[in-house]
Amino acid sequence: MAKIQLNGKKITIKPKSSVLDILKRYKLDSRKLAIECNGFIIPRTNLKKTILKENDKLEVVHFIGGG
């Protein structure tokens, strides 16, 4: 098991978990999110390829429409 930060909160993940695995775990729709890992924006095409490791910092921001 590895520990990461998700929006400032420490969570435990399985080894070799991808960003997409975490989004699925929390039932988040990647089409409506911006995802940052360790200060870098992760393109949607790389969510499955981006494997998380110990002490990574993941920030997930929801898009909100309005006007």
Q: Is the pTM of this model over 0.85?
A: yes
Whether 56 maps to a domain, the answer reads yes
Enter the tokens of residue 23: 């989004």
d(CA 62, CA 53): 23
Q: Determine, yes or no, domain membership for 53.
A: yes
Determine the pLDDT at residue 64.
74
pLDDT for 60? 94
Q: Is residue 67 included in any domain, yes or no? A: no
Total domains, the chain? 1
**pLDDT single digits (tens) 18-66:** 999 999 999 988 888 999 999 999 999 999 999 999 999 999 998 777 6
Alpha helices of the chain — where are they, by DSSP H? 19-25
CATH number of the domain bearing residue 14:
3.10.20.30
pLDDT at 67: 63
Q: Could you tell me the residue range of the domain that residue 12 belongs to?
A: 2-62
12 within a domain of the structure (yes/no): yes
